[in-house]
Chains A and B, each alone.
Chain A
Amino acid sequence: MRISCPYCGQRDVVEFTYQGDATVERPDPASIDQNAWNAFVYDRANPAGRHRELWQHSGGCRAHLVVERDTVNHVIHSVAFAGEKQSPKTASKRKSPSRRKAAS
């Protein structure tokens, strides 16, 4: 599997570190809703198909990336810097979590 880093270009997956699901949204930090925090920490979907994930180019430019990957055939549909706004097409599907603004 290769990921096209927006800065470095196409690189082997060994240079990247998986940072988790990019679709989860952190609850309001002031929230004391136990269920919301439990869901944020533990609940993950396991989709077969397109999925948005956070990756870090840890063996290269060290940028945090949002990668849209098909979990069935490993086709990478899009790669973007995690700090950037997602394309309208992607954003309309899933709201971009505010925590990612500070990620890069």
Chain B
Amino acid sequence: MVERESPLGTAYKPGRHGNVADAAGVTLSETRPGSIVEIVAWPGTEKAALAAIKSVTGLALPDKPRAGVVKSGKAGLGFAPRRWLVIDDKEGLAAELKSAIGIETGAVNDLSHGRTVIRVAGPRAEWVLSKLFAVDFSVDAFPVSNGCSTSHHEIFAQIQRTGRNQFDVIVFRSFARAFFTTLCHAAEETGYDVA
């Protein structure tokens, strides 16, 4: 397998940064999944599309706004009406979904090379992301596995809470380096590790 070039480039500096007085508030990393696929259902075919996603990936996505599922090595989230994003560590998921979801059910778009997934994990993850996005990140308003789409200064971001103190931020690949740099600046105050 050919190693994929990270769009973060020189902005990605592994190690401890920012405030080093206390333990690092967050750990930043790039998850580099093999597949990122967007599925769009037509009005009325939501159930059929969700059933197809389940049969291919095993992810039982609820038909509710922003609902998602997190399993080891894969995740799915709703981010807009009739639209879902499925992320898998293995490659080639788009082809499998395309054969399972016909044109009468919806559309499948392979975004594996078009998106970058940045993981923000740690006790101050909610706090760091709250600096960037006008979204309530408390666990009551944003439960584990839920998704959300928002933007930071015109940089569109899809966010999924993949753990109590862990968020995956999915951004356009071409904006990933700029966004990661901003995220590092936001995390400086609390100290951060780049893993």
A residues at B contact (CB < 8 Å): 6-9, 11-12, 14-15, 59-63, 81, 83, 104
Contact = CB atoms under 8 A, between A and B. Distances in A.
Contacts of A6: 65
Interface stretch (B103-111, B116-124, B143-151): B143-151
A8 B83 CA distance: 13
B150 A7 contact: no
A15 B65 contact: no
Interface of B: 43, 65-66, 79-81, 83, 134-136, 141, 148-151, 154, 156
Contacts of B43: 83
A63 B80 contact: yes
B151 A15 contact: yes
Contact of A15 (B80, B83, B150): B150
Contacts, number: 41
B129 to A, nearest CB: 15
Contact of B81 (A11, A12, A59, A81): A81
B151 A61 contact: no
A31 B151 CA distance: 41
A2 to B, nearest CB: 9
A81 B43 CA distance: 13
Between A7, A12, A14, A81, the greatest number of chain B beta carbons within 10 A of the residue's beta carbon is seen for A7
Contacts of A9: 66, 136, 141
Contact of B150 (A11, A63, A81): A11
Contact of A8 (B65, B154, B156): B65
Given A7-B65, A7-B66, A63 B81 contact: yes
A83 to B, nearest CB: 7
A76 B98 CA distance: 41
B63 to A, nearest CB: 12
Contacts of A11: 134-135, 150
